Amino acid sequence: MMMTACGPVDDGTENENGNSDQTEQPGGGNTDKPDEPEKPDDKTQSIKFQDENTKLLCTLLWDENEDGEFSYEEAAAVTDLGTAFKGSAIIAFTELKYFTSLKKIAESAFEGCVNLVQITLPEQINSIGINAFSGCTNLKKIAIPDSTTSIDRSAFNECTSLASATIGNNVTSIGDGAFEYCSKLSSVTIPNSVTEIGYNAFFSCSKLSSITIGNSVTSIGAGAFEYCTSLTSITIPDSVTSIGEYAFLECRSLNEVYCKPTTPPTAPVNYLGKWNAFDTCSEYTKIYVPAESAKIYKSATGWSRYASDIVGYDFDNGIIDNDVEINVIIDSPVGITGNPDYEKDYPSDSTMCIYIEANGNELKSIKLYISTNMPAEITPEEALALSGTKDMSDQYLPDIIEYGYTLAVFTGLTPGTTYDIFLGFTTIYGKTQYYRAQYTPTAAK
């Protein structure tokens, strides 16, 4: 259930002096006062709290000397928050950074704190528990320190105002639903330390338009980025070996998927026996994979359903390397057409037919050179420079094959003479392919 916030809310913006634009701080403070000083040498000194509600709870729970204040020394002695703040009316807790013995944000520690706008985590925290901040609908930003190694299930679920989340460089796992329904989160960088992105980890983060996935991630969970409707491009690092069902389902703006693994990541199927990680994405979605693996992807389990959207790509040079399968047949008119009547118009003793099929792909241009003394290894430019080489491209072949095939007929050849045929194709994606063959017209029947 989504919770409705009440109380003053900091919009997260700052003026030129680095202070909040808010006229009152939570708890009645003024933004013109200086920032809280670093922990003093005298640990018995009282902490000046930004939020009186937070101070009241801390004093009630951990004021060991019962002086009605809460000192740096008393904060440093706390090892477990428990659920003391769960559902409370606190608005700010930047002083949590002084809890230097705290190693974990406990399960449900701040769950349902709908007024909480800002909090500063201690730098030594190693884990954030299940539902730790779930339903903190006014929390604007979170910085997870480098000491943290795990973000547990639903830790920030339904933090609908969370616009900024910095994930520390030692986090290894992002739990199931960790940032689910964080509808204002616009970008996230998953550091290289992370190996696993859990089920529904960023489900329905509808403003998420930029995601960087670290190069140690091996598993992207089912529904991990489902309904991230603002996402336009994603790069899947070559470390990924498994992508769960629905992983990018309903990412309706997703036009470019750059999938670097040379071996297609495994595709676990759903209860219908299908893997549909990229279903209902943009109608223009292209999945760019290593050029040498394009054919493997197109026939791999799960991936084959996206075969028409898979494009070979040179990741080192950033060049599309679409591997169009071009079929060339060179023969007599009857040999190609199978129609004896065709030979009446084009006698086989002096005619050569070339049938070119690009399996439904358009070819941008075709070059055809015919010679009787063309070496085996030669470039198109060298071939054309040879004495006796004829450029037949403009005369016999169209510049563009729009429907994936063409048939060209060449007459006036000398029966019994062997001709070297050199064909060059440029696909609409800019890749050049070459085809070489020889043909000897036979004598008339």
DSSP 211-238: EEE-TT--EE-TTTTTT-TT--EEEE-T
Please answer whether residues 195 and 175 qualify as being in contact, where contact means their C-beta atoms are separated by less than 8 angstroms: no
Report how far Cα 3 is from the mean position of its chain's Cα atoms: 31
Q: Is residue 176 part of a domain?
A: no
The answer to which of 1-5, 68-72, 326-330 has the lowest mean pLDDT is 1-5
Q: Which of 323, 350, 377 is the last residue of a domain?
A: 323
Residue 178 falls within a domain, yes or no? no
Both 24 and 152 in one domain: the answer is yes
Question: Does residue 309 sit in the same domain as residue 390?
Answer: no
> Quick one: pLDDT at residue 4?
33
User: What is the three-state SS of 362-408?
Assistant: CEEEEEEEEECCCCCCCCHHHHHHCCCCEECHHHHCCCCECCCEEEE
Distance from C-alpha of 244 to C-alpha of 64, rounded to nearest angstrom: 50
Residue 155, domain member (yes or no): yes
What pLDDT, in 10s, does the model give residues 59-108? 999 999 999 999 999 999 999 999 999 999 999 999 999 999 999 999 99
262 and 309 fall within a common domain: yes
**Domain housing 127:** 1-12+20-162
Reported confidence tier of residue 376, pLDDT bands at 50, 70, 90: low
Collapsing DSSP states into helix, strand and coil, what is residue 203?
coil
Give the mean pLDDT of 137-165: 98
Least confident of 111-125, 179-193, 201-215, 266-280: 266-280
The CATH number linked to 373 is 2.60.40.10
Q: Comparing C-alpha atoms, which of 351, 333, 350 is closest to residue 342?
A: 333
Of the listed ranges 103-107, 154-158, 286-290, 401-405, the least confidently predicted one is 401-405
Task: For residue 304, give the CATH number of its domain.
Answer: 3.80.10.10
Whether residues 188 and 215 fall in one domain: yes
For residues 285 and 226, state if they share a domain: yes
Give the residue with greater pLDDT, 394 vs 412.
412
Range among 23-27, 82-86, 427-431 rated most confident:
82-86
Domain membership of residue 174 (yes or no) is no
What's the full length of the chain, in residues? 445
How many domains are contained in the chain? 3
**Does residue 289 sit in the same domain as residue 198?**
yes
Residue 152 falls in which region: left (phi positive, over 0), alpha (psi -120 to 50) or beta: beta
Rounded-to-integer distance, Cα 382 and Cα 379, Å:
5
Residue 416 lies in a domain: yes
Res 14 pLDDT > 50 = no
Do 306 and 192 sit in the same domain of this protein?
yes
Q: Is the pLDDT of residue 388 over 80?
A: no
Helix (H) or strand (E) holding 189: strand 187-190
- Let me know whether 125 and 272 are in one domain: no
The pLDDT > 70 percentage for the chain reads 82
Is the pLDDT at 12 greater than 70, yes or no?
A: no
Domain CATH for 66 = 3.80.10
Nearest C-alpha neighbor of 256 from the set 186, 192, 315: 315
Residues 293 and 311 in one domain: yes
163-222: pLDDT as tens digits: 999 999 999 999 999 999 999 999 999 999 999 999 999 999 999 999 999 999 999 999
Residue type, 9: V
Would you say residue 9 has pLDDT above 60?
A: no
CB 425 within 8 A of CB 363: yes
Last residue of a domain, one of 297, 323, 349: 323
Q: What is the rounded average pLDDT of the residues 386-406?
A: 66
For residue 11, pLDDT beyond 70: no
Residues 319 and 332 in one domain: no
At residue 266, the pLDDT reads: 93
Q: Are residues 319 and 203 in the same domain?
A: yes
Q: Is residue 445 part of a domain?
A: no
Three-class DSSP category at 151? strand
Q: Tell whether 177 is covered by a domain.
A: no
Give the mean pLDDT of the chain: 84
- Residue 47 falls within a domain, yes or no? yes
Quote the pLDDT of residue 368: 81
Give per-residue pLDDT as tens, 330-361.
888 888 888 787 777 777 677 888 888 876 56
- Specify whether 245 is located in the same domain as 333: no
Q: Which of 222-231, 286-295, 406-415, 422-431 has the lowest mean pLDDT?
A: 422-431
> Which of 323, 342, 371 marks a domain boundary?
323
- What pLDDT band is residue 373 in, cutting at 50, 70 and 90? confident
